[in-house]
Amino acid sequence: MKKNNQNVVQLFKILNITIVILIILNLIMYTGVLLHKYHFIPPYVVSIFIGLLVYVSYKSGNQFFAMDTKGETITFETKNVGFLSFLDSKNNKIDLPKYKLIKYDIKKGIFSKNLIFYINSKKNPNSLTKIKFRLAFISNRNINIILTELDKIVTSNCTIKDNVEVAI
């Protein structure tokens, strides 16, 4: 099943354009091109508002996600599309076979949610490898869909693991 939140990308493009326009207007206000009688709001209030918008956009985490569970692999990708996305342009992407997923965990925070995959790897067979994804601007409906898909995968992995007999 494929799932993503492409509509958030358009919303963040609009937010990024708004921040750029506010920065340009704030620079015009600070340079004094406009007369002071046209200033409805003091420039420092606009600067604080711009800083707050940029901070929330940066701290919210990776806003775009895409998940594909069709076939024998799980593909999960997140990327930042906020105002300062060029500073943290690393895309988090994992493509792993379904049988390697042992369990998962989701932790909810104020600005973002963390989705943690615990996978079995050949490099470290005794313990689990933990892969963490930061998610933001994801609806509860999408979270429930993701969790039900991951539940199906984990339960099928447990039943297969229980049915396998080890020959000595």
> Mind listing the pLDDT tens digit for each residue in 99-134?
888 889 999 887 678 889 988 877 776 778 888 888
pLDDT for residue 105 = 93
Burial of 63: CB neighbours in 10 Å, binned 0-12, 13-18, 19+: buried
- The token pair at 101 is 């997923």
Counting every residue written for the chain, the total comes to 168
Neighbours of 149 (CB within 10 A): 15
**What is the identity of the amino acid at 113?**
K
| Share above pLDDT 70 across residues of the chain, in percent, rounded to a whole number | 82
What pLDDT score was predicted for residue 56?
76
Domain that holds residue 82: 1-163
Residues of the chain with pLDDT under 70: 34-39, 60-62, 84-90, 111, 125, 160-168
Answer yes or no: is 168 within a domain: no
User: Would you state the pLDDT for residue 138?
Assistant: 79
Residue (of 1, 15, 108, 3) closest to 58 by Cα position: 15
Q: What is the mean pLDDT of the chain?
A: 79
Angstrom distances, CA of residue 35 to CA of 7, 25, 38, 42: 40, 13, 6, 13
CA distances 105 to 10, 20, 93, 116, 143, Å, are 29, 37, 17, 5, 12
- For the chain, what is the domain count? 1
